[in-house]
Structure 1
Amino acid sequence: MNAKQMIEENNQKREQLTVDNEKYYSDLMLYIRTNWQVSEQHTEELLLELLDHLLEGQKEGKTAIDIFGETPKDYADQLIEQLPEEKKRSWFPFIATLFVQIISYVLIIRGLVLLVFPLFTEVNDQVNIFSLLITTIFLGVVVAGVVRYIFKVIHRSIFEENKAAWKDPVKVGAVAAVSMGAIILLSVWLPEIGPSFHFTWWLSLLFGVVVWSISKVFKRN
């Protein structure tokens, strides 16, 4: 099976776990998946093996603590150290899909703004090629950085004791807000160098829908 098939099987089999065992295993699974130190294939093979082992033990009346121990973080770290590192997981497919989705949302929102705002005020539908190129590159870098930061926050906090539930969302929200502000400021401050072209509201909506459809194809694959 490939990684996607194993993830689907994992999702189905987890429904057979008791509430406590599911909570224990889900934390273990999320911690290992967000480590990103090994290939996705090796990660999912390990997780499916652990799940099968847990399900067998559960039939005998054992709990996840009985099988894996009272310190899941230490156990997960030992497992990660034993996994081969020669083929690390690629960030590109996930980040590329997310980037394409964000571009589609921007195009759709822009199209709606250009459709509605002219009813109340004058709107310029021109797009400068230089500004567009620089902003798009910067957006890609920001998306990659924010995604990596989110995974690190999740990874660190899974087994953190006595943590305040609001801290992680506030951290992620602050980073996302600052990043979005930086993108907006860059697009406003960039000088318009070189040619520009008219990009009407209906073209923006059309391209937005097309790009969104492409992102869904990437996600399925």
Structure 2
Amino acid sequence: MQTEEVLMELLDHLLEGQKENKTAAQMFGGDPKAFADEIIRQLPKENKRNMVSFTIRIMILLLGIDLVINGITAFVVERFFSRPLPPFYPVSAALNFFIAGLYVIFAIWYIFRILKKSLFKEETKKVQILTFLKIDAVIFVFLGGVILLDKFMPKIGPSFSYPWWLPLVLGVVSLGVYYSWEKAAKSRGI
């Protein structure tokens, strides 16, 4: 709750400044980085339990989205192209998901690092373009890596066939779990 109070105070400050037609320099002073650092100092530190809970909720959300997309794709392949679905290898799928999850964590850390370095610096257009190209490269490598990982990962462990609707149903259930957990977390103020 304390975070929301600090952010509401900042929003009120911004709205008042807008009404009075103040410039950013008049509102934040000559050193916006110091102003931002002061706001960050006022924010409470997030405890580890909430961070782990948030991370697990995000993983469930991503899993649900992936399963829904796989279910829709399986339906299209089976119905419109009359092709059987390839067998499912749970060990390979879990390994792919784990590796992709690690890469997502790395990509988020790297993107925030790039943004933090460039946030309060006066940059030329060339430097700004280079920064966005770095971020685009991280995203491109992630997407390409996931596709290549799925394509070339050896099939490990037992396999089984499944109907097209199974991943769709599991995805909807995962999304339901995510939204219920997210709603409960918000009601507790997490």
TM-score w.r.t. the length of structure 1 is 0.63
Match of 2:159 among 196, 206, 220: 196
Match of 1:96 among 56, 61, 66: 56
Alignment of 1:1-221 (within 5 A): 1=1, 3=3, 6=4, 45-51=5-11, 65-66=25-26, 68-77=28-37, 80=40, 91-118=51-78, 119-120=80-81, 122-164=83-125, 166-220=129-183, 221=185
Tell me how far apart the structure 2 counterparts of residues 89 and 172 of structure 1 sit (CA, whole Å). 30
Kept in 1, the 8 Å contact 2:92–2:157? The answer is no
Tell me how far apart the structure 2 counterparts of residues 66 and 59 of structure 1 sit (CA, whole Å). 13
Shift of residue 154, structure 1, vs aligned partner: 3.1
Kept in 2, the 8 Å contact 1:104–1:207? The answer is yes
* Mean CA deviation greater in 46-55 or 121-130: 46-55
Kept in 2, the 8 Å contact 1:108–1:204? The answer is yes
- Residue 202 and residue 79 in structure 1: after superposition, are their counterparts in 2 closer, same or farther (change >3 A)? closer
> Runs of 5+ in structure 2 lacking a partner?
186-190
> Runs of 5+ in structure 1 lacking a partner?
7-44
- Secondary structure of 1:159 counterpart: coil
Q: Encode CA deviations 1:113-146: one digit per residue, 9 max, x unaligned.
A: 2111233253334211220221121122122122
Kept in 1, the 8 Å contact 2:2–2:44? The answer is no
Kept in 2, the 8 Å contact 1:127–1:199? The answer is yes
Kept in 1, the 8 Å contact 2:100–2:146? The answer is yes
Identical residues among aligned pairs (%): 37
Tell me how far apart the structure 2 counterparts of residues 61 and 115 of structure 1 sit (CA, whole Å). 56
- Secondary structure of 1:199 counterpart: coil
Tell me how far apart the structure 1 counterparts of residues 156 and 66 of structure 2 sit (CA, whole Å). 22
Structure 2 match to 1:15: none
Kept in 1, the 8 Å contact 2:68–2:168? The answer is yes
- Secondary structure of 1:177 counterpart: helix
Tell me how far apart the structure 2 counterparts of residues 57 and 116 of structure 1 sit (CA, whole Å). 54
Shift of residue 47, structure 1, vs aligned partner: 4.0
**Which of 1 and 2 has higher RCO (CA within 8 Å, sep 6+)?**
2
Tell me how far apart the structure 2 counterparts of residues 55 and 209 of structure 1 sit (CA, whole Å). 40
